[in-house]
Amino acid sequence: MNASVRLLEATLPATVHLQVTVPESHPSVAVLGAERSGSGAFIERDGVIVTVNYVVLGGREVRVTTFDGRELTGEVAAQDFASGIALVRVAGSDAPALPTAADDPPAVGDEVFIVASVGDASRRASSGSITSLAAFDANWEYILDRALYSTAMNPGLGGGPLLDRCGRVLGVVSLNLNEIGRFSLAIPIDHYREHRDELLRHGRRTSRPSRAWLGLFCYTLRNHVVIAGLLPGAPAAASGLAQGDIVLAVDHRPVQTRGEFYEALWSHRAGDEVQLQVYRDEQVRTCRVSAGDAEDFFR
């Protein structure tokens, strides 16, 4: 039998389809919708599933469909807003768990593959190689100091495992990218492995200090940070900031890229007042924002 077929046969039983219904009142619905579907994989023998946080954000119960078609009820067990991973727990599961690549860190050029749900018990797989381990910043106040970029296209729903050629989990697939030579992005599984105990015990990263959060979306254009949107009800929307504002500085500390903006913002804690110098209508203005905490806002 072909080695790749044997590898898939060993991997598929640990993968799941996730279905979540989020109350319409939850603030994430404005961006992500109330009905969410995603992929996941058992990472512990006692029924712990790892996935990506945006799939379960705002949900409580999760409908879990295993590879053999069984429907189970899970609950959101942990969310790590810093990394973007989440854990779902299913009671009484006898599904196999995937191992993690603990002692063999990934390198550029390594062969990898993705297994993703395409609905209920259906799965698809895609293979490729790692092209970069560079940092990644997103438009929603999010940075990964190290991400896994690969040429393996995500063949289904987000949250599935990125695996090495031995079937060990390297990361959790989060996004599809359109950059040349970089087709998908995964969150390194290190974020789970290194913080496993506190995530399972407390449901969150208790060891990480709170950091300021404004609830805005932004992008970098010609060495300028431009506000692309504001999340309704979040601190930025209440402060007088507006879509199209150009952020020049945080507390008089100049910023030219999205990463610089986030790092300056995160020098503050939740509850601090943050001063943003912005350019709007040919004037420089100062907006004072009482920073919030994303975990509290989306609780």
The answer to whether residue 102 is domain-embedded is: no
- Structural domain boundaries, residue 75: 3-90
Percentage of the chain exceeding pLDDT 90: 89
What mean pLDDT is reported for the chain?
94
Tell which of 141, 157, 191 closes a domain. Answer: 191
Q: What b/e sequence results for 73-104 when a residue is b if at least 16 CB atoms lie within 10 Å of its CB, and e otherwise?
A: ebebbbbbbbbbbbbbbbeebebebbebbeee
What average pLDDT score do residues 27-31 get? 94
How far apart are the C-alpha atoms of 218 and 140, rounded to whole Å? 7
pTM listed for this prediction = 0.94
pLDDT at 92: 79
Q: Are residues 117 and 165 in the same domain?
A: yes
188-223 pLDDT, tens digit per residue, is 999 999 999 999 999 999 999 999 999 999 999 999
User: Residue 256 has what pLDDT?
Assistant: 97
142: helix, strand or coil: strand
Nearest CA to 206 among 47, 55, 78, 299? Answer: 78
Q: Amino acid identity, residue 82?
A: A
Indicate whether 83 and 18 sit together in one domain: yes
Residue 164 falls within a domain, yes or no? yes
Are residue 170 and residue 225 in the same domain, yes or no?
Answer: no
The type of residue at 189 is I
The CATH number that applies at residue 12 is: 2.40.10.10
Last residue of a domain, which of 55, 90, 125?
Answer: 90
| pLDDT for the residue 2 | 67
pLDDT at 118 over 80: yes
Whether 81 and 7 map to the same domain: the answer is yes
| pLDDT for residue 161 | 98
Q: How far apart are CA 147 and CA 48, in angstroms?
A: 23
Q: CA nearest 140: which of 272, 251, 298, 276?
A: 298
Q: Which amino acid is at 235?
A: P
Stated as kind and residue range, the H or E segment containing 276 is: strand 273-280
Q: What is the mean pLDDT of residues 64-69?
A: 95
- 220 belongs to a structural domain: yes
The residue behind tokens 């507390």 is 251
pLDDT for position 183: 87
Average pLDDT on 142-167 reads 96
Helix, strand, coil in percent for the chain, rounding step 5 = 15, 40, 40
The average pLDDT across 157-179 equals: 93
Total tally of structural domains belonging to the chain: 3
Q: Which tens digits make up the pLDDT trace of 129-138?
A: 999 999 999 9
Instruction: Check whether 1 has a pLDDT greater than 50.
Output: no
Please indicate, yes or no, if residue 106 is contained in any of the structural domains: no
Could you tell me if residue 196 is inside a domain?
no
83 and 128 within one domain:
no
The pLDDT score that the predictor gives to residue 189 is 97
